[in-house]
Every structure is written in structure tokens, then in C-alpha cells.
Structure 1
Amino acid sequence: MESQFDKLNMTVEERDEIWRFYNETVRFERKIGIIIPSIFALIILIGVIGNVLVVVVAFGRQMRNSTNTLIIGLAISDLCFLLLCVPFTAVDYAAPKWLFPEWTCSMINFFQHTSAYCSVWTLTLMAVDRYMAVVYPVESITLRTPKNTMIALIVVYAIIIASQIPVGNMHGIYTYLFIWEERSACAILSIATGEASKTVALSYFFTFNIFGYVLPLGISIFLYWRMLRRLWDTPRPGNVQPTISPRRSGGEFNSSGSIRNRPEARRAKKKVTRLVLCVLITWALCWLPLNICFFISGIVYPDTLVIAYGVIMVIFQISSQVLAYTNSCLNPILYAMMSKSFREGFIRVIRKLMNFLSCGFCFTDEMKTSTGIDATFYNQVPVSSIKTERTSLLKESSNRSSVQNTATSKTKHVGRSKSSRSFNL
């Protein structure tokens, strides 16, 4: 090390300043190398257990519907992120060099970007599903099936995977010299070396901001705004004026006994909409700081955040990454807190698992399986009841029409009344 100083031809004061900076940086990195991997280990533990429980419960026969199919897709995306991305990032924080083969760098960043995009666009599909269920409950019955939802997920995921292959290929092992110590990291080589043009750097950072955050979040907010207006502005059954025959408006029966105006249906739709909206808001808040880092990185390029803003931005960048990763383990907690179906399903699976591991000594009295389906996650109104009610309403309408026609024919000669019209992730 002394020879390195001699080559640089520096004064004693300059050497002492560099030594002080090097020692402070190493101490800071050692603390980060312990704290951040420990947090990531906790996130992996909670996230894997929670998302596996979500998949097991949502795969149940009584839970099969379009909304839960999307929840399964979201849980699988989070599992891929937790198992294929977070452990490598934790090791990267703990070591000053990239310890894995070079091909793992491209693979990890490909899965990181793919999982992030899959999560947010799955949330967008959930917003579309909720919008159709609330605004067009009758017409969307044939569309909002698990099979069609799975097809939509496959198409969206295929587009995302194809679009992220070039992003994965852009990454490689970047070797650099920190004072006198040789280090390496997984990064986009052209951006890390400063060889990429400003346009290329901006396109990388802003593409993630737009297609991974702003656009899907904007679509979801617009759809939730429309459906919340429909849910909360719908008149209650007691305030609806009865009509001679049901009239259809926007695909829904507007009579006093309609599907949309039923108190239990309205409450169920509000519950599901509230839960899905809460999941979306949680995701938006968790990923907002990291998107801010991406945006600023594009602005200050070819400088880095560390050079531009110092250690404060380093702490902000690390915190934003931890917060974004934490989102992968929060959804199961939200399901357990806000959905009775998932809460009971989690308890039932845990009881069976504990009973199996203890060879039958724990929980010998099996939990009673509820025969009713909780409206919170079963498409709010079962398909059979919707079809039955729709048929009965149509029959009632035809019967009333025939009675009205008979009364009109009898009074034809009397007169006619008025008709009533109602950076890296």
C-alpha cells in the first residue's frame, strides 16, 4: 500500500485523508453487509411462507375464480423475486466483489426486472377484473373465468419476458478500482463505465419509470376511481323507485331487486375492491422511492448518485431497495388481515401442517370447514345465483309485459295512459 502511495506521489496529509476515507467506507460497508442481509433473510422467510400459503389456499376448489387466479399469479411473481433475486442481492451487499459466475449476473437482473413488471401488471389486471365485476357484473360473467384470466396472465407475462431479455443481456461484471482495492459488481457495463450516451441511459431509467410504475399505476387509479364512484353512488334498495319492468343500463338490472343493488352484493364488492385497492396502494408506496432513484439516476448521468449527492443518497438508495423488496412479503399479511376466506384458509393449512409434523398430537380436533362461501373472494355473487336471478327477472318482466298487454287490450277503447319511464432493482 505504501508503494501505491509512492506511485501517486502524494503528500502525507493527502495520504492520511485517503486512509481516513477508506477506513470510514470499509466500516460503513461492514455494517451494511450485516444489517441488510439480515433484513433480506427475514423478508425471504416471511415472504416465502406467506406466498406459499396464498397459493395453497387460493388453489382450493371453492376459491377458484378470476380474482384469486390473479392473486396466485401475483404470489408466484413474488416467490420468484424472493428466491431468485433477493439472496444474490444480499450476498452482493455482504461482499465487495461479485462472487458468482458471470452468467448469473444477467440471469438475476432479468428475473428482477421480469418479476417487478409481472407484479405491477398483475395488479393492473386485478383492477380491470374489479372494474368489470363492479360496473358490468352480468356481461362479464362469461369473461371473468379462471381460464380466461389464466390466458390473460400468460399473454402479459410472455410480453414482459420477451421485452426483458435485452435488459438481462446488457448486464455484466464491472471491475473497478476503489483507491487501491480491486472490486467488482453486477451492472449495465455501458452505463457503469460511462460509455453509454445520455439518450441510452435515459431510455433505460425512464422506461422502467413509465412502464413499470407510472403507466400501470395510472390505469389502475383511473379504473378504481370509476368503480368506486359506481359502488358508492349506487342508490340503496330503499331509495330506488320501482318500475313496471326491469330496464338494463350498462349491463346491469336497475330494478329495486337487482343484483347490483342487493345489500349483500354491494358489501361483498366493496370488501374485495377495498382489499385489492389496499394491495395496490401498498405496492405503489413501497416502490415509489426506488423509482425516484431511477429517475434521478437518469437525470445526473454520467455521474452517479454517490458522486452527485454523497452518502445521504447512498442511504436513501439502500433504504428504497429494502422497502421495494419488503413489498414481496406484505401481500399475504394484507390478505390475512382483510379477507376472512384467506384468514381461515391460512389457519386451516397451518393446523394440518402442524398436525402432520407432530404425527397427530397437535390439533386432533379438525377445524370445521365452513360450507358457505365467503363473498369476499368468491366473485362476490356466485355465477349460479346470478344466472338464476337473471332468469327470474326476465320471466317476471315477460309476465308483467303480458299482463300489461292484456290490460291494454281490454282498455283499448277507453283510452291510453302515459307510460312510466324509469439502476438496478
Structure 2
Amino acid sequence: MDDDDFLSDLPPAPAPGPSPNSTGEEPAWWGPSSDGGDAVYLAVRCVMTSVYILIITVGLLGNITLVKIFITNSAMRSVPNIFISSLAAGDLLLLVTCVPVDAFRFFSEEWVFGEAACKLIPVIQLTSVGVSVFTLTALSADRYKAIVNPMDIQTSSAVFWTCLKAVSIWILSILLAVPEAVFSQVVVMQGHRDNTNVTFVNCVPYPLSNQMHPKIHSVMIFLVYFLIPLAIISVYYYHIARTLIKSAHDMPGEVSEHTKRQMETRKRLAKIVLVFVGLFALCWFPNHVLYMYRSFNYHQMDLSLAHMVITLLARVLSFSSSCVNPFALYLLSESFRRHFNSQLRCGRGQRPERQPSYLHSTSHIRLTSIKKATPAAAIIPPAANGSSNRQEVAL
């Protein structure tokens, strides 16, 4: 059997990376040349194009503003925020490269970007996914260290070492994505439409002659970029939850106001990271499952309307993961919300509203000084670890 004979029997190939594609042989209801297909084709094109434009616009606005806040405000340059900024940078990379290319497939039935883009786009996409999941794992480890081992003193070089970790995550993600460039290739494929043979150019993520490659590829993608990192994160959060429950029972009746505030801040940060992890899992799980399903049923491709709808929803969910984190941070962090509103000039130049804890502490100092009791400086005890305290209150 030569290559042409093999390709003529193939169903549509999955797209590069963890996002399945469906270009190729299409179902009877799809395409402008089929009966009744004009309306469906036009509706899907308009709806998906609008959704992709919305994802790109909202994602760029949220992530660029997030990175700008962390860069321009020295008080926000903390260990968790450095990781979150790296997370936003990975999302931006995906939004400006992979999303527009994927949207273009609704205007062309074949790959038109050439061999170089066929190798580069999968690398960018997988790098972005790697940066996201590995950074979330590093954030969970940071929250574990802050809550389970709170007495570990953070040195003045903590920010430097965190930046080094973030850069290392990017390098690791790029290296793991290199095989995508090695195996991705542009091929000429044959399919059937309206009982006629059609020839088209497609970008495939692995050699079509090796039937085991797609199965190995999809399983490895699922393990390395989803299951294993989430299992590690689950272990971290199990110990975090156990420590918080134990500390709630063991905490003495009278503790300093500073200790209470520090514990609440650490719990809030742990909650934010957990929400990020949950959103990532929710957005990417359907796509991973769909990709494995297609890889293991490569010669029995489901061409039904239901399968196409599920495919489109999975793609929208996966790309939506690049724009949801700023929204989550806006809802969960009052400090970030104030800075975000300030960046968008929602406050019209008004002074940012002070934190309730800050108002309480200053009124407490003022009242104490009137009563001529202990000095104001003694009202709020200094943190046992001043550097660590600054790291925690940034959000």
C-alpha cells in the first residue's frame, strides 16, 4: 500500500497539540455544498468567529492589564504574583497566535499557513498549556509552603528565585513541546464530499503511517499536561486543608490581630490558586478526553452533528481558559480589583478605597493614643517574618 492509498481511507486528522481538529471528510449536514448545509455552515462560521473574537478581546484586555498592574506597582511584586504574571504571559501567547489560526479554519477547509507554521503553532500551543499547568503546580507548592511550613523564613532574594523558577518553567515547557515541531507535517489528504473525491492540504501532528503514534501522543499529553500535575496539586491541597482544619481547632482563644490577618490572607491566596486550578481543569478536560477518543478511534471517526457540537464546545472551553483568570482574580482579590479599576479609569482619579483592616488598625492606634496607653507602634506587633508578610498581602 502506498501513501496515497493509505491517505484516501483516512478520516479527518486531529489538529496539532491537545486540540483536535475536524478538517477533512465532513458530515452530510456540514458545508456549503450540501443540502441544507448552507444555513448550518453560515451559522457555525458566524457564531464561532464571534466567540473567538470575544475570547481574544477579553483575554488580551484582562491579561495585559494584569501584567501591567504587577509590573508598575512595586507592592504587587510578590512571589504569588510573579507566578500569576507568568501564567498571564502564557495565556497572551496562546491568544495572539493559536486562537486566530484556529478561527481561520472556519473560512478555509485546508491548511494555508505553510510548513513553518504547521511546526511552530503546535509548539506555541503546547508551551502555553505547559506554562499554565506547571505554574499552577508551582503556585500550589508555594501555598503549601506558606501554610504548612509558615516558619520558613523567606530571604530577601525570594523574588529573584521565584523569577528563576518561572523562567525554568518556560524553558521546560518549550523543551517538552519540541517533539511537536519534529513530527508535525503538512500532507496532502483525500476525502469524500457529495460522493466525489476531494484533495486538500492538512497539518497533522504525527506520521500518518504509524498507527500507534496518535494513541501514545494523546495519552502522554493527557498524563504530562493534565493528570499528573493535578494529582500533585491535589496532594498539596490535601495537606493545606488538613493544616487549616487543625489550626482552627488548636488556635488559642486570644491571638494577635496580626496573626488573624495573616492567616486569613494565606487562606484567601490558597483559595485563589485553587480556583485557578479548578478553572484550568474544567476548561481543558473535555478537550483532552475528545483528543484521546479521536486518537483511539482514528479510523471510525464520528461525523454526527452531536460530535461536531461537542468538538466546538470543547475548543471554545479550552481557549476560554486563557481569559478567565483575570476575572477570577478580580472577583476574589479586593486589592487587584482596586488596581484593575484604576487602570481602566473607573475610579476617575479618585483615591483608592482603603482596606477595612487598615481602617481598623489606624482607628485603633488613634483611639489608643487618646487614652495615652501604650505607644501606637506597639499596637500592631511586627511580623515574625517581615519579608514573608509582604509576600502574603500583595493580593
Instruction: Give the shorter-chain TM-score range.
Output: 0.7 to 0.9
Quick one: which of 301, 306, 310 aligns to 2:302?
306
User: Is 1:273 the counterpart of 2:270 in the alignment?
Assistant: yes
Residue type at the aligned position of 2:218: F
Q: 1:65 to 1:225 in 2, by over 3 A?
A: same
The partner residue of 1:53 within 58, 62, 65 is: 65
Measured against aligned partners, the alpha-carbon deviations of 1:307-336 in whole angstroms (never above 9, x if no partner) come to 6xx332222122111111111111111111
**What are structure 1's unaligned runs of at least 5 residues?**
1-16, 242-255, 355-361, 376-381, 391-425
Provide the secondary structure at the position in 2 that maps to 1:333.
helix
Which residue pairs with 1:23 in the alignment?
A: 34
- 1:136-215 to structure 2, matched below 5 A, reads 136-142=149-155, 145-179=158-192, 180-191=197-208, 195-198=209-212, 200-215=213-228
Residues 166, 140 of structure 1: CA spacing in aligned structure 2 closer, same or farther, 3 A cutoff? farther
Give the Å deviation of 1:258.
Answer: 7.9
Asked if 2 retains the 8 angstrom alpha-carbon contact of 1:127 and 1:220, the reply is yes
Q: Kindly indicate whether the alpha-carbon contact (under 8 Å) linking 1:32 and 1:94 is maintained by their aligned counterparts in 2.
A: no
Q: Look up the SS of the partner of 2:106 in the other structure.
A: helix
1:386 aligns with 2:384: yes
- CA distance in 2: counterparts of 1:280 and 1:144, whole angstroms: 27
Among 283, 294, 298, the residue aligned to 1:297: 294
Say if 1:34 and 1:94, in contact at 8 Å, map to a contact too.
no
Compared with structure 1, are the counterparts of its residues 304 and 165 closer, same or farther at alpha carbon in structure 2 (3 Å cutoff)?
A: farther
Q: For residue 357 of structure 1, what is the aligned residue in structure 2?
A: none
Tell me how far apart the structure 2 counterparts of residues 84 and 128 of structure 1 sit (CA, whole Å). 30
Residue 85 of structure 1 corresponds to: 98
Q: CA deviation at 1:78?
A: 0.3
Cα gap change, 1:50 to 1:31, in 2 (>3 Å): same
CA 1:297/1:315 → structure 2, altered by over 3 Å: closer, same or farther? same
CA drift at 1:184: 2.4
CA distance in 1, matches of 2:61, 2:151: 37
**Is 1:75 matched up with 2:88?**
yes
Partner residue in 2 for 1:245: none
Could you report, residue by residue, the CA deviation over 1:288-309 in whole angstroms, capped at 9, with x for unpaired residues?
Answer: 10011122123223x25336xx
* RMSD of equivalent CA atoms: 3.1
TM-score normalised over the length of structure 2: 0.76
Question: Over residues 94-140 of structure 1, what are the superposed CA-to-partner deviations in whole Å (9 max), with x where a residue is unaligned?
Answer: 21122222211111111011101111111111100111111112215
CA spacing shift, 1:42–1:374, aligned 2, 3 Å:
farther
**Within 1, Cα distance between the matches of 2:46 and 2:187?**
23
Where relative contact order (Cα < 8 A, 6+ residues apart) is larger, the structure is 2
- Using the alignment, how far apart are the partners of 1:70 and 1:277 within structure 2? 14
Distance 1:207 1:144, change over 3 A: farther
1:126·1:276 contact (CA, 8 Å) conserved in 2?
yes
> Which amino acid counterpart does residue 262 of structure 2 have in structure 1?
A
Distance in structure 2 (CA, Å) of the matches to 1:95 and 1:304: 24
1:39 aligns with 2:36: no
How many angstroms apart in 1 are the aligned matches of 2:35 and 2:191? 13
d(CA) in 1 for partners of 2:384, 2:229: 31
Q: 3-state DSSP class of the match of 1:295?
A: helix
1:318 and 2:321 correspond: no
Distance in structure 2 (CA, Å) of the matches to 1:374 and 1:129: 24
Aligned AA (1:185): N
Answer whether contact 2:63 2:91 (CA < 8 A) is retained: yes
Map 1:306-385 onto structure 2 (within 5 A): 306=302, 310-351=304-345, 363=348, 366-369=349-352, 385=383
Q: For 1:85, what is the secondary structure of its paired residue?
A: helix
Q: Which amino acid aligns with 1:296?
A: Y
Cα distance change on mapping 1:140 and 1:322 into 2, 3 Å: farther
**5+ unaligned residues in a row in structure 2: which ranges?**
1-26, 359-379, 389-395
Cα distance in 2, alignment partners of residues 312 and 284 from structure 1: 23
Residue 211 of structure 1, CA deviation? 0.4
| Counterpart in the other structure of 2:136 | 123
SS at match of 1:306: coil
Aligned length: 334
1:169-228, CA deviations, whole angstroms, 9 ceiling, x for partnerless residues?
31122322333333222222523xxx1132x22221111100000001111111011102
TM-score, reference length from structure 1: 0.71
Q: CA deviation at 1:40?
A: 0.7
Q: Is the 8 A contact 1:305 1:313 kept in 2?
A: no
Residue 216, structure 1, aligned to residue 226, structure 2: no
Mark the CA change 1:144 to 1:38 in structure 2 (over 3 Å): closer, same or farther: farther
Deviation at 1:276, TM superposition (A): 1.1
